[in-house]
Amino acid sequence: MRRIMFTYFTSDPSSRALCSPMLLSTFSHFSLFHMAANMYVLWSFSSSIVSLLGCEQFIAVYLSAGVVSTFVSYVAKMATGKFEPSLGASGAIMTVLAAVCTKMPEAKLAIIFLPMFTFTAGSALKAIIAFDTAGLALGWRFFDHAAHLGGALFGMWYVTYGHELIWKNREPLVKAWHEMRTKNTGKGGGRSN
CB proximity list for 94: less than 8 A, separation 6 or greater? 65, 69, 128, 147, 148, 149, 150, 151, 152, 155
3-class state of residue 142 by DSSP = coil
139: left (phi over 0), alpha (psi -120 to 50) or beta: left
Point out the catalytic residue in the list 11, 48, 90, 145: 90
Question: Phi then psi for 118, rounded to 5 degrees?
Answer: -110, 160
15 is catalytic: no
Q: Classify each residue of 72-81 as buried b or exposed e, where b means 16 or more C-beta atoms within 10 Å of its C-beta.
A: bbbebbeeee
Point out the catalytic residue in the list 148, 163, 178, 192: 148
Longest Cα separation, the chain: 62
What letter would DSSP give residue 86? B
90 is catalytic: yes
Catalytic residue IDs: 90, 148
